[in-house]
Structure formats: C-alpha cells, structure tokens
Amino acid sequence: MPKPFLLIKIILLLGLPSVSALGYAEQSHNDKADAIFKLLDSGTIEQNATTQAYLEELDSLIPTTDIQRQLRLTRARCWAFNVFEEGQVSKGLAFAQQALNNPNLANYPNDKLDLELCEAWLTEQEGDVDLALSGYNKVIAQAYALEDLRLVADARGMRGYLHSYQGNFTQGLEDLLTSRSLYQSLDLSAWARTSLYEIATIYRRLGDQKSAIRYFKQLQKSYIESDNLDGANAITVAIAIAEEELGNLDRAKRLFEQGYHYWKNNNRDLEQATVAVNIAGTLIKLGEFEQASQYLDEAEPFILPTDEAFYSFLHLFRAQLYLGDGLLPQTHKSIAYARTAFSRVKNLRGLAQLQLVESQAFVQQARWKQAYYALSEYVKLHNELDAKLLSSYTTEMRTRFNANQIEEENRHLIENQQLKELELAMLEQNKLQQWIIIVLGSFLMLIISIFAYKQIQKNRLLSALALTDDLTQLPNRRYIYAKAQSRFEEAQRTQQPLSVILFDADYFKLINDKHGHEVGDQALVLLAQTCRNLLSHKHQAARVGGEEFLILLADTDMAQAYKIAQALVQKVSESNFSAFPQGFTMTISAGVASLRAEDSKLSQLLKRADDALYQAKSQGRNQAKVS
C-alpha cells in the first residue's frame, strides 16, 4: 500500500530550505523582501499559486545589484517547481543546473549548496534515486563543514525519507530524528511536523502500527490546533493505512473515504486520486473488486509515471484485478508498468508483492518455469526485507524507549525540544536506563547487548554532529577542541601568538546543593553571557565540561591573555545577581597559558592552562594565574 506522502512533497515543494542569516536592511523594500523570505522559509504556505505570487513580488522588490537577495530568490524559484505537473521536474532540473553556473556563487557557498540540494531533490523526483542519494550525501557533508544547521536538517530529512521509502529504516530513522531535533532548535515547527510524520511512517513500515497511529494522532492534533485541515486530512489517510495493516479493513475503509471526500469537496483532484488508489487496495482485500476498479479508473488520469509511489501501486492493484478476472495479458502489462516504477525507487516491498501476483498469473497460464522463477524472486525479496527489518529492531527499541521516557518525565515538553535534548545528551542520560533494561530484560540479554552497542555508536555520531551546547548556546567541547587544534597548527606555521584561558565556577557543587540545579544552570548561562560581552569577535569561548569553560585567544600573547582573564574574573564577581536567590554570589578561577616554541601538541598548551587553574584554586580562588 503506498503511503500518503503527498503532503510531505507539497511542503518540500513550497518551502525554501536552508536560508542563511538575514542582514539588517535599511530600505523598506529590503525589509518587505526579507519578511517574504521568512514566510516562505517557515514551510507554512500550502498553495503553489501563493508561492508564485510571492516570487513575483520579490522580483519587483529586489534590485539586480543586490546579489545576495537575488541568489536567495533563485533558490526560492528552484524549490517552487510543481513536480506534480507534467514536464515541471525536467524544467526544474534545467533551472537548477543553469543557476549553479552563476559565478557569484563562489562567494556564497551556502546558497550554492542549497541549489545543489534542490538539484538532488529534483533528481529524485525524476526517478534517479541513486544519483539523488549521492547528492544528499555530498550536501550533508558540506553542510556540516559550513555549520549550516538548516541545510543539515533539510538534507537529512530528504535523505531520511528516501531511506525510509526504500526500506532502509535504521538509516532513515537516524536522519529523521536528527532532522526533527534541528528543526525544533531552529523553531521551524512545520518542518519538525514533517519529520515526525516520517518517523511515524517508519514505525508503520517496521510493523509497529500502534506506535505509528499514536504518533500520527499526535501530529494530527497539532495540525488541527494550527488550523491546517489539509495536513490533518493527510494524517487521516496515514492512519487508515496503519489500520489496514493491522487488519482493521472496515475502519481503514471508513477513514480512506473520509479523506477522499474531504479532497473531493475541496476540488483537489490530485490528492483525491492518491486516496482513491489507497481505497482500491483496501477494497481488493475486502473482495469489493468492482468498486476498487471504479476508484482506479477515477485516479488514473491524475497519477503520472513520475509519481512512482502511487503510479506503481495503481498498476499493482490493476494487475490484481485483471488476475481475478482472468485477463492475463492485461495482468502482465500492468505488472510491467508497476515493476518499472518500483525499480526506479527501489521499493522492495512493492516489488515483493508484484512478484507474488506475477507468479499467480503464470500458474494460471500453466507456465510453471516462469511461475517458479517469479515465486523464487518473491521469496528472495521477502528475505531481504526481513533482514532489513531485523537490522532495524535495535533502532526501533531505542526510539520507543526514549519516547516513553519523554512522555513520563517531560509530558509538557513533548511538542517542543525534548527530543533534541534527549538525542544530543543520550550518551550521558541513558546509562542508568541501559542498566534498567538489562535487569528487567535479563532473558533478552543478547538482544540488549546488541542494542547497547548500537546505541553507543549512534550517540557517538550524534555527539560528533552536535555543534552547540544546548544550555549555554556556546560551542561544545568537540567543536572547540577541533578549532583549537586548527589554531594551534596555524600558529606554529605562522609563528603567531596563541593563548588559552581555562576557567570554572568556584564551589559550583555548593551552588547546586544549596540553590538547586535550575539555579546552577542559570549561573552557567550567566558565565556564557559574560564571555560574550567581554570577548572580541576573534576570540571564542566554549563550554567543555559541567562548569568548565575554555577560551581560545588567537593572535594573543600571554600578557594580553592574562589581562583578559583578570577582567573576566572581575566581571563575574561584580555581576548583577538580582535575578538569583537572595544572598547568591559567584566567582571563578582561571588558568592562562600561551603557546611555546617547544610545544609539539595542543595537549601541552591545555595542560599548562589546567595547571594554572589548579594553582588559582589552591591559592584562594576568585583569581587568574598564568602557567
């Protein structure tokens, strides 16, 4: 059964992914243009005609001399091609390829990368999924290098959808979890809902229909609350598919009909046709063949070969009906159409169903050799699908377990950013949970061991991908150490000075014990803000531990670094603590170290800073010391 991913494609079609930070435009035209870009970027526009009207308005607002906004407009046009209209995919690809030849893109790598992502997505719509997947992989790698979180979220969301549709559930779930958490951190709720839809769909494909329905209903409620009735209706169809796979055919039929009549009453022919294909599959299982054929007849004029998901299943269902009527030549013709579409997107589930129908057709024709071959291919595909499902069980267990924990401990944050925090902090937070699972599930020791190993692997990956400390919004340990290594090597090569300051809060444990962890978190945020206020743009601070911070000072000698450290110590001690509990005070101790000629490793520099910090602590705290 094809999934109702039409809504997802509409959102992807109309949105403007991966917008870089806006400048402060002084002219009213620039302000208006930027407001339109922001609206397009939100993913909340539902009509292609509205998008085109906005693009025309932008064309009149942006002068040709404004290169940055002109490039942004080019990106918007690339994503605005309606892939559901015949010929638009090829036009979109030609547009993207021409746009990528713009010489101005050499100075705007983020714009160039977004156009490459658009090109990869259009390539997927054209049916070349291998080339599209290669494009997604390239964009994701470069987006991380550019530290463009929006591009990372967009590209991983698209790649996750493709992996999911192909049956690569583990990879798909990893991409979509990351995509959703990034969208939440960027306050892009519409796109976060899109990722949640695909996560629920993966549960459905894994066979956990009850979990899928729970997530779908959660998503449907969100659409209704935001008055997005189109989105809510698309979820109704998704729930119907899950109900069908649970064997609740009558309930699935009622839900499909509800979705079908909604699109019909709103004169949405294409959407109506996609639901008609779904209904036909349910009716075939119910034995209502004549009505199923009527729905397929109605849908066929609107389902193009470029929309492989519905086109493939339309002809699969046609083949089943022809087979039931004994029309074997027509059966094989429909099988050929369906196989071409399934093969282009590598949908193993659909190909397996198709092989079974083909083997039955050959049996009716007494073509035993062909029937045996078709049945053998069916078994082969089923075994391949089973292997993929088995490799996905640990990911499914982990995700379900984390979702249950969120519901129990942080129900009021489920719709906000808890999933992001949980994924990024999983390595530290789930140690106790792993032991609980082991104790409660000792009879599943082997499975749990595999789960723990896979979990550690994935958390290491997520830790490496995280760019920012969630509490303080400063760079995290992994980021600053990589940056420090780069600065260290550059300073050695150019003979330029390099210094570091390592500092932490004095008696921080007492702060937590006396005032609570919430006040402790507030104190850490204050330290981060003090760093931002004090440091220049060429210096960078990061949180590297619980209450420990590292400041990287490029082109700064020991005297200058010590002066900065002293100023930081004074600023913290003189901070305004009026927002804290009465009597609250806080000081810091800092250690300063500078690069020496004999230093061969970054660790030597950091060790001296740490030794200086220890000296500051041992000599009374609230001071800075040099190594």
Q: What's 521's domain CATH number?
A: 3.30.70.270
| Residue 19 banded pLDDT, cuts 50, 70, 90 | very low
Residue 530 has pLDDT above 90, yes or no: yes
User: 554 - beta bridge partners?
Assistant: 498
**530 and 487 fall within a common domain:** yes
**424 and 523 fall within a common domain:** no
Report residue 579: phi and psi, to 5°. Answer: -80, -5
**456 and 481 fall within a common domain:** no
Mean pLDDT for 14-28 is 43
Residue 22 has pLDDT above 60, yes or no: no
Q: Give a yes or no: residue 610 inside a domain.
A: yes
- Distance in angstroms (rounded) separating the CA atoms of residues 19 and 309: 30
pLDDT value at residue 427: 55
pLDDT value at residue 6: 43
Q: Give a yes or no: residue 316 inside a domain.
A: no
**495 and 604 fall within a common domain:** yes
pLDDT value at residue 401: 41
**560 and 591 fall within a common domain:** yes
Given 433, 465, 497, the domain boundary residue is 465
pLDDT value at residue 460: 62
Q: Give a yes or no: residue 384 inside a domain.
A: no
| Residue 178 banded pLDDT, cuts 50, 70, 90 | confident
- Distance in angstroms (rounded) separating the CA atoms of residues 353 and 348: 9
Known catalytic residue at 547? yes
Mean pLDDT for 350-358 is 85
**448 and 528 fall within a common domain:** no
DSSP labels for 573-590?
HT---TTSPTT----EEE
Q: Give a yes or no: residue 343 inside a domain.
A: no
What is the tens place of the pLDDT at every residue in 317-344?
Answer: 998 999 888 898 998 898 898 888 888 8
Which residue range(s) make up the domain with 258? 208-304
Name which of 107-121, 244-258, 437-451 the model is least confident about.
Answer: 437-451
Element of type H or E holding 406: helix 368-409
- Distance in angstroms (rounded) separating the CA atoms of residues 192 and 177: 10
- Distance in angstroms (rounded) separating the CA atoms of residues 275 and 263: 9
pLDDT value at residue 486: 92
What is the tens place of the pLDDT at every residue in 145-155?
Answer: 888 888 988 99
**458 and 483 fall within a common domain:** no
Q: Give a yes or no: residue 318 inside a domain.
A: no
pLDDT value at residue 426: 56
Between 294 and 6, the more confident residue is: 294
Of 104, 199, 86, 113, which is closest to residue 96 (Cα–Cα)?
113
Dihedral of alpha carbons 250, 253, 259, 263, sign? negative
User: How distant, in Å, are the alpha carbons of 237, 509, 582 from that of 515?
Assistant: 51, 10, 10
Given 443, 465, 487, the domain boundary residue is 465
**436 and 527 fall within a common domain:** no
Q: Give a yes or no: residue 430 inside a domain.
A: yes
- Distance in angstroms (rounded) separating the CA atoms of residues 339 and 333: 10
Structure tokens at 470: 């969630």
User: What is the 3-state composition of the chain as percent helix, strand, coil, each rounded to the nearest 5?
Assistant: 75, 5, 20
Name which of 157-166, 510-519, 562-571 the model is least confident about.
Answer: 157-166
Choose, from 116, 547, 548, 598, the residue flagged as catalytic: 547
Of 69, 67, 65, which is closest to residue 40 (Cα–Cα)?
69
Q: How many distinct structural domains can be found in the chain? A: 3
Interaxial angle between packed helices 48-61 and 67-79, expressed in degrees from 0 to 180 and rounded to the nearest 10: 160
Mean pLDDT for 462-489 is 84
pLDDT value at residue 441: 63
**607 and 521 fall within a common domain:** yes
pLDDT value at residue 85: 83
Structure tokens at 187: 């306050």
Of 198, 250, 290, which is closest to residue 3 (Cα–Cα)?
198
Residue 247 has pLDDT above 80, yes or no: yes
Considering only the C-alpha atoms of the chain, give the largest distance between any 2 of them, rounded to a whole number of Å: 94
Given 465, 499, 525, the domain boundary residue is 465
Report residue 383: phi and psi, to 5°. Answer: -65, -40
**438 and 497 fall within a common domain:** no
Residue 488 has pLDDT above 90, yes or no: yes
**295 and 418 fall within a common domain:** no
What is the tens place of the pLDDT at every residue in 413-456?
Answer: 334 434 544 555 555 555 556 666 666 666 566 676 676 667 77
| Residue 28 banded pLDDT, cuts 50, 70, 90 | confident
Between 383 and 94, the more confident residue is: 94
Structure tokens at 568: 């930081």
pLDDT value at residue 205: 75
Q: What's 286's domain CATH number?
A: 1.25.40.10
Report residue 246: phi and psi, to 5°. Answer: -80, -10
- Distance in angstroms (rounded) separating the CA atoms of residues 10 and 259: 17
Please enumerate in sequence order all residues whose Cβ is within 8 A of that of 480, keeping only pairs 6 or more positions apart, or say none.
Answer: 540, 542, 544, 550, 552
pLDDT value at residue 402: 45
Name which of 100-109, 160-169, 243-252 the model is least confident about.
Answer: 160-169
| Residue 609 banded pLDDT, cuts 50, 70, 90 | very high
pLDDT value at residue 590: 95
User: How distant, in Å, are the alpha carbons of 67, 99, 107, 212, 293 from that of 116?
Assistant: 18, 10, 15, 33, 41
**b vs e for 211-248, b when ≥16 Cβ sit within 10 Å of the residue's Cβ?**
bbbbbbeebbebbeeeebebbbbbbbbbbbbbbbebee
pLDDT value at residue 415: 41
Mean pLDDT for 176-205 is 84
Between vectors from CA 503 to CA 498 and to CA 507, what angle results, nearest 5°? 170
Quick one: how far is CA 197 from the chain centroid?
A: 11
- When the pLDDT of each residue in the chain is averaged and rounded to a whole number, the result is 82
State what percent of residues in the chain have pLDDT above 90. 34
Mean pLDDT for 134-146 is 91
Name which of 16-20, 156-160, 586-590 the model is least confident about.
Answer: 16-20
CB burial of residue 601 (10 Å; 0-12, 13-18, 19+): exposed
Instruction: Tell me the helices (H) and strands (E) count for the chain, helix number first.
Output: 28, 5
**482 and 613 fall within a common domain:** yes
Name which of 209-223, 288-302, 608-622 the model is least confident about.
Answer: 209-223
Q: Give a yes or no: residue 106 inside a domain.
A: no
Contact 13, 202 (CB under 8 A): no
Mean pLDDT for 101-115 is 93
Q: Give a yes or no: residue 228 inside a domain.
A: yes
Element of type H or E holding 625: strand 624-626
Residue 231 has pLDDT above 60, yes or no: yes
pLDDT value at residue 431: 57
Between 308 and 274, the more confident residue is: 274
| DSSP 8-state assignment for residue 171 | H
